[in-house]
Amino acid sequence: MERLDKIISNLGYGSRKDVKSFAKKGLIEVDGIIVKDNGMIVDPAKVSIKINGEEILYRKYIYMMMNKPDGVISATQDNRDQTVIDLLEVDHQAFEPFPVGRLDKDTVGLLLLTNDGELNHRLIAPKWHVDKVYYAKIDKKVDEKDIVTFKNGVTLDDGYKCLEANLEILSSSDDGAEIRLTIQEGKFHQVKRMFEAIGKQVVYLKREEFGGLLLDPELAEGEYRELTDDELSVLKSY
């Protein structure tokens, strides 16, 4: 059950003030009856709401993928820095989405945003072992020995032994390396700390995949879009 003005404005049909004025003008109908009280409490899943004769499509949840840019933090609010939520259009912010897990301020790439707490929980709970694929540039050579170390579970600075991780070397020389790493955990600074544990530094980090979902190559850094139905079912069935 929710206030009519909140439901309507969350769906992107105007601010709450706009909704108040629509109601005053007699433009809002609930189950065929004109409603002038913009604060009326209804169950949006059970009633038909029309604005100016047009039925609104109710939906509770929103699911988006963003190509997170460098310098922006994966949080809903911050006093100093710009957040990923600040990059969303007001109509999307109205759903009160939050990032699914976190990417560091300087990490770019695939970040999911939703207001579906249950899906969020399933995707970030350690027991579900959701695959995350990262592309990274490393300051030093990466070799077969590192592949084995990561496969056996590298131990981080705090003594935590990581789960098996799949390291793929894309190129490697004395000047540095390009790699792809698949992990199933999401510890704080995990990829950076895994490389630090073998004496190397990550100098660029991009997430390319999350839970079977691929970053849309059409999205420039800072851009986002809603997931397609197919993408959402991939995530939900993961």
Residue placing its CB nearer to ligand URA in the complex, 104 or 178: 104
Contacts of 54 (CB under 8 A, 6+ apart): none
C-alpha–C-alpha distance, residues 68 and 84, integer Å? 7
**Other Cβ atoms closer than 10 A to 166:** 14
Choice between 22 and 135, CB closer to ligand URA: 135
Q: Which of 37, 70, 91, 104 is catalytic?
A: 104
Q: How far is the CB of 197 from ligand URA (least distance, A)?
A: 12
Cβ of residue 196: shortest distance to ligand URA, in angstroms? Answer: 9
219's tokens: 């999205």
Give residues 107-126 in contact with ligand URA (rule: CB under 6 A): 107
φ/ψ of 81, rounded to 5, equals -100, 160
CB of 32 to ligand URA, least distance (A): 51
- Give 51 or 110: the residue with its C-beta nearer to ligand URA: 110
Using DSSP, state whether 99 is helix, strand or coil: strand
Task: Give the contacts of 121 (CB within 8 A, at least 6 positions apart).
Answer: none
Catalytic: 104? yes
The helices-and-strands tally (H runs, E runs) of the chain is: 7, 15
- State the Cα–Cα distance between residues 222 and 49, nearest whole angstrom: 34
The backbone torsions φ and ψ at residue 54, rounded to the nearest 5 degrees and listed phi first, read: -105, 125
Report the site for ligand URA in 159-218 (rule: CB under 6 A).
189-192, 205
Residue identified by tokens 């609930």 is 30
* Cβ nearer to ligand URA, comparing 7 with 103: 103
Is residue 190 helix, strand or coil? helix
Q: Does residue 67 interact with ligand URA by CB under 6 A?
A: no
The C-alpha atoms of residue 236 and residue 133 are separated, in whole angstroms, by 18
**99 is written with which tokens?**
């990032």
Give the number of residues in contact with ligand URA, rule: CB under 6 A. 8
103 touches ligand URA by CB under 6 A = yes
Residue 85 as a binder of ligand URA (CB under 6 A): the answer is no
CB of residue 161 to ligand URA, shortest distance in Å:
17
| Four-residue CA torsion sign, 22, 27, 28, 33 | positive
Nearest approach, Cβ of residue 231 and ligand URA (Å): 21
Which lies closer to ligand URA via its Cβ, residue 38 or residue 190?
Answer: 190
Single out the segment in contact with ligand URA by CB under 6 A; choices: 59-67, 85-93, 100-108, 143-151.
100-108
Active site residues: 104
Which residues here bind ligand URA, judged by CB under 6 A? 103-104, 107, 189-192, 205
